[in-house]
Amino acid sequence: MLSNSAKYAMKAVLFLALHTDEDHKMMVKDVYGRINVPQSYLAKLLQELSKHNVISSARGPKGGFYLSAINKELPLIKIVDVIDGEQRLRSCLLSIKECDSENPCALHHLVGNANSYFIENLENTSIADLIVDVRDGKTVLPL
């Protein structure tokens, strides 16, 4: 359901949410190996996320990428929408333009409700919500 790019972006954002803030920024070179994402690919993803204010960045000797308190309150769907486009999750799995509940494709009923539930959870879960679970040991993320 998510592209590899969106998965990589999600891992990077969550990693930055755990390890950065306005006073502690990280460079791409400090992140890519820890989350197992190619360095140049991660750099492009982080630049795109920064451009759309999902994450923050600062230039200069003490610069890098980080998540501000405002960034952490964004819903997870924002990450997916920036990387994959708003229609990726909402489009037909078979890429049939006319597919909808009135004119379903062969897979529509198999994933329709699950996909709607997934999108709803992405819309209603913030980056900060997931970080609480990692910090509480309920979920895992590369450290």
Up-side HSE of residue 59: CA atoms within 13 Å toward CB? 1
Enumerate the domain spans of the chain: 4-87+126-135
**Whole-angstrom Cα distance, residue 4 to residue 46?**
14
- pLDDT of 46-89, one tens digit each? 999 999 999 999 998 889 999 999 999 999 999 999 999 877 77
pTM here? 0.89
- pLDDT of 86-135, one tens digit each? 777 778 888 888 888 888 889 888 887 777 889 899 999 999 999 999 99
**Whole-angstrom Cα distance, residue 103 to residue 11?**
36
Give backbone dihedrals phi and psi of 103, rounded to 5 degrees, phi first.
Answer: -135, 70
CB contact at 8 A, 78 and 126: no
Q: Max CA-CA distance within the chain?
A: 56
Q: What pLDDT does 100 receive?
A: 81
Class of domain 4-87+126-135: mainly alpha
